[in-house]
Structure formats: C-alpha cells, structure tokens
Amino acid sequence: MKAIKLLSAVGLTWLCATTLHAQETEIELDPITVTASLHPVSSSVTGRNIIVIKGDQFSKLPVNSVDELLRYLPGLEVQMRGPMGAQSDIVLRGGTFQQVLVILDGIRINDPNTGHFNSYIPIAPAEIDRIEVLKGASSAIYGSEAVGGVIQIITKSFAAKTGQKSKQLIAQGTAGQFGLLNGQFGGFYQNGNTAVSGGIISNNASGQQQRGTRGYLHNTSASVSINHYLDPYWNISYRSSFDRRDFAAQNFYTTFRSDTANEKVSTFWNQLKLAFEKEHQSFSVNLGYKAVKDQYQFNSVGTPNLNKSNLLQGLAIYKWLAASNTTITTGSQWVNKQMTSNDRGDHTLNQAGSFLIVDEKIGTHATVSPAIRVEWNERSGWQFVPQLNVSYKLPYWQLRGSAGRTTRDADFTERFNNYNKSFVQSGSIGNPDLASENSFSYEAGADFFGLKNLKLSATIFQQRFTKLIDYVTTPYAAMPRKENLSPTGTYALAQNIGQVNSTGAELDIQYSKKFQDNQQLWATFGFTWIDSKSNNTTPSFYLSSHAKYLANFNIRYTVNRFSFSLNGLYKQRTPQTSTAINADISTDYFVLNAQLQAFVYRNKVSIFTQADNLFDKQYSDLLGSQMPKRWLMGGFKVTL
C-alpha cells in the first residue's frame, strides 16, 4: 500500500510536468544564487546541486512554520519532534542533524548549545525573499558544520537594491481543532534608497492527546529590518528579532515512561551589515549576536535544566573581478561561543577561519571553482579544508562535479550533556574528549533544461567520514567517567565513530507553468536514496535514524478564483521499538497535507480550509516523539 501511494505521488507530479502546454514560466529554472560562491551567479555555473524557492510560497502551501516548508523541499529530510515549529532536526544526504549549516543573510545561526535548535530561524515569513538550499560539502567556504549542506534564508530588505520602489502587506489568520489559533502579519516597503521589512508569526494550540499529556505549543517569531543606501556604492543593513518556543517535549530526548517534559526556548538575534560595491569589486562586513535561553523540565518533580548560550561573530568578504573570466573572493571569519548551564557547566570556545575562492570560466561552456580554507579552533587546532567545483554548460544540459573535505567540531551538548549534574540515572552523556569529525565528499550530477518550464537534476554522491560524532549505547563499565552515573543505568555516550561511508543518489524536479484562462501550476519533487555503512558494531543513534528512501513533493494548481495545494512525503528507514512507552518507528510512512483556497476579492483576499496529515497516519520521526494525526483548520489570507 505504501509503495502504491508513493508511485501515485510520483506519477501525479510527473504527469503534471510533462503533459501540459505552457505560455510562460512563473519561476526561473536557472536562478541566481549567492550561497555557492558568496557572490551572485547562475546556479548552472556553480558545479553544485542547488534548490531555490521564493518566500511567497510560504503563504501558498499547506505549511505553518519555516521548518514545515523545508520539510517538503526536494532532498531535505526534516525529522520533526513536534508540529508548527516546536522542534525539527534538518538532515541532508544522510548525515546527522548537526551537519547542516543554517545561514541568515550571510552569517550562521547554528546554536553552540545544540543542533536541535538550528531550525529556530528568527525570522517572520513576510520578510523572506528566497530560500537557497546547497546540497553537499561546503566547509571550504563556511567552515564547521557545513558538511551535508547549507540552508540560507535571504530576506527582502537585505537583498534590496537602490533606486527601487515596492510595497507589500500580508496577513493570515488560522483556527482549527485542538485549540489551534495561528496568525501572521508583515510587510515590506522600499522607496528609493531605504527598504524596511518586518513581521510576526505565532502558532498556538492546546494540542492532541499524547501519553498522559497534550502536545501543546506556543511558538512566536517577530523580526524587523532596515537597509539604507548611503550613496550609490555604500549601504548599511540592520536586523533585530525575537523568537520564543514553548511546547510539550514528551520523549523528545528519552524513551523513559517518566518523561512528561516541556521546554521553553527564547532567542534574541541582532545583525549588522556594511557593504560596498562598485564596478569590479565589492566588500562587506557582517556582524551577528545571538543569545538563547533554554529551559527544559523532564517532569513536574524534576529540576529544570537551564542553559544560556551566546554566539558572537564577524565575517568580512572581499570580491574582485580580476579579469573578464576570473572572479576572486576572499574573506575571514571569527566566531565566539559561550554557555552557562546548570546541566552542562560554563564554557567558552573561539574559532576563526580564512578562505579563498577562485571562479574561472574556461572557454564558452566550462567553469572551475577551487576553494581553500584555513580553519582554527582553540580546542582542536588548525585544519586545512580544500574543495573543487566544476561545471560544463550546454544549451540544454549542465554537467557538474564537486569534491571537498569537511570538518565539524562538537557542540556543547555533545561534549558536556548531563556532565554537571550530581546524579544521572540514565540518558545521553556528553564526552569532553571528542575530536573534530572530518570527511571527504564527492559528487557528480547533471541538470536538464530541454523542456520549457521543467528542470530535472540527478546527482550521485558519497561521503567518507572519519571520527564522526554520534551517540552510541554504552555499558556503565565502558563509560570514561562514572562519578555521577548509576551502575545499573542505561547510557548513550557521545563518541567518535571510526569510519562511516554514505553513498546515495538524488533526483530533483522543478516545474512551473502559467496557462490561458487564469490557470497556473507549480510543482517540486525530490527522491533520495542513501546507504550508510559504519565499522562500529553498535549502531549510533542519529546516523541510524535517517531515511534510506525519501520522496517529498509540493503541488499547487490555481484556476480562476480557486487554488488547490498538496504537499507530502514518503520515508523508509530502520524500524525501532521502545516497549517502555509502547512506541515504535515504523519501517515507512506516507503523510499528505492539503489546502483549498478561494479568492473572495480579486487575488488579494481569500479564505481557505486545510487538513494536515490527511490520511490520519500515526507516525514518529524519532522514537517516542509522537507526531499529530489528522488536524483540520481554516482561515483567511490577505495580500496587498
């Protein structure tokens, strides 16, 4: 039955993409991207597999948060613990969730405490201009954590160019089952040299029934930004945002029956950018400060874990068009990470890096882009990180390849989780002696543009890890530190796994057409196969949790005053069981969301009805973290 559903989804997308006749395109199939090379170029000359989605898709698809939008993009696996922004782990190409770097307008937002917070992107959807997903190794440019890939959110104000005029206002309200009350509001305004944007999104629900608790959530993000051109060459941009998540976290991190946890995470983000661009050169300085307060309470009688982290960073980039076919980009980065915690202790870590990228066009069709980075970490020392990207572009084809080294240092949770407590009965234990993990990754792929409004991308890849960091079930006798542990406890120790090889293939389809009679179709589809092999006899936790087969898709069809949207995913993975809480990870699952929208005033004001998990599937992405079953809702949308 699962295979039939999967084939039906694939067939529907392919049918839409091959049988309809178009007049004009809605999206660019070879968009401009800045993520692959730090300066604007067409994706077809980067040598990389890149997905670009416009920010306005957020209001057109059945999604309620940014991580839900990412969940249905081709090739992304988003392992959700809770809905609507409660908590999600982002996985690319079968690695662990800490191996994806998330960037907001050029600088990292990955939290030094834990990669579990990487999906807490402190931005209102109204501010998003586009999202760029760069798949594969990127440490030569971005440093630590850019192992499986990079997700960059680019906002309207920071992307604004001088001399333009534009304004937009959006509002949406949603109500539904289980006490659901969601809302978002925001806008963008530019008049000449100044652009301003801002907005808020808030998702709230009493939640569906879980094991003795309800899966409640109160998640709110608010942001505001401004970009001002001082003259035709200099501009300064600033953003401030606040993000708060308050949610039920039962069995998010454990499979204990006594777990009735809740968690509150507050984020304060500030970003300042000064940029110069004139003729053949450009220069920018980007500064960021992030403060996070995390309070996690395992149950009503336990003492909450209180973790406070700070991330301070600076990034300077210089680009020079050295010749008509040669662009040189260089830069330096400094990052300071801090933590104070009653669970993990107090810690500080500094790291820095410098990089050089050369984009060389050879003849009419070929582009070669070597990059090197020198990375320093005060704990693990110096590392040299090289990478090479090549592309060969023909009228209807792009052939591409990439090879490079990656690196990642352990976060504070991997090093010190449960280290500062007086007694730990069972659970995940940090390891201060973890070495940095390294890998060598290579890929080859092709993109086909031969049919109008349709892009097909196929890629094969392999990642060869050494010292990969993950949690492994470890008996008490083998624990390196036993001071606060119980001889009868069950523990998962963060360890460096000797060797892990992940081999895979991915297929991405992007399609968009606009027809006569006010009809429009937009669709994306992705299929990924990954096979991971380890020399570790005991399977590690997060590495064994990724999907072996993953298919995800979006479809939106508009005709006259109606719009119908579907998104869904199929996942096959290793099954797991916990008898203590009567939970399991099924071999596979298929989940589908649907939305029907009717415009009541031109294309400006509409009402909609939506069903999340339309087939009422009971499933979990991670053992014990029960995802909601069918959830019905409806509301209104205004776009002016």
Q: Using one digit for the tens of pLDDT, what is the confidence trace for 168-212?
A: 999 999 999 999 999 999 999 999 999 999 999 999 999 999 999
**Top-confidence residue, 543 or 296:** 296
Angle made by CA atoms 354, 358, 361, in degrees to the nearest 5: 170
| Residue 279 CB contacts under 8 Å (≥ 6 apart), including other chains | 321
Number of other residues whose CB lies within 10 A of the CB of residue 544 = 15
How far is 56 from 554, CA to CA, in rounded Å? 14
What is the average pLDDT score of the chain? 91
What pLDDT, on the 0 to 100 scale, is given for residue 535?
A: 85
| 603-625 tens-digit pLDDT | 899 999 999 999 999 999 999 99
| 518-536 tens-digit pLDDT | 889 999 999 999 999 988 8
Does the pLDDT at position 95 exceed 60? Answer: yes
Does the pLDDT at position 565 exceed 60? Answer: yes
Number of other residues whose CB lies within 10 A of the CB of residue 531 = 12
How far is 383 from 467, CA to CA, in rounded Å? 15
User: Which amino acid is present at 366?
Assistant: A
Number of other residues whose CB lies within 10 A of the CB of residue 488 = 8
Contact (Cβ atoms closer than 8 angstroms) between residue 83 and residue 613 = no
| pLDDT band (50, 70, 90) for residue 257 | very high
Domains within the chain, CATH numbers bracketed? 2-639 (2.40.170.20)
How far is 145 from 342, CA to CA, in rounded Å? 26
| pLDDT band (50, 70, 90) for residue 5 | very low
**Residues 386-413: b if buried by 16+ CB within 10 A, e if exposed:** ebbbbbbbeeeebbbbbbbbbbbbbbbb
Contact (Cβ atoms closer than 8 angstroms) between residue 366 and residue 390 = yes
| 344-366 tens-digit pLDDT | 999 999 999 999 999 999 999 99
| 29-72 tens-digit pLDDT | 778 888 888 888 888 888 899 999 998 888 889 999 999 999 99
| pLDDT band (50, 70, 90) for residue 28 | low
| 129-144 tens-digit pLDDT | 999 999 999 999 999 9
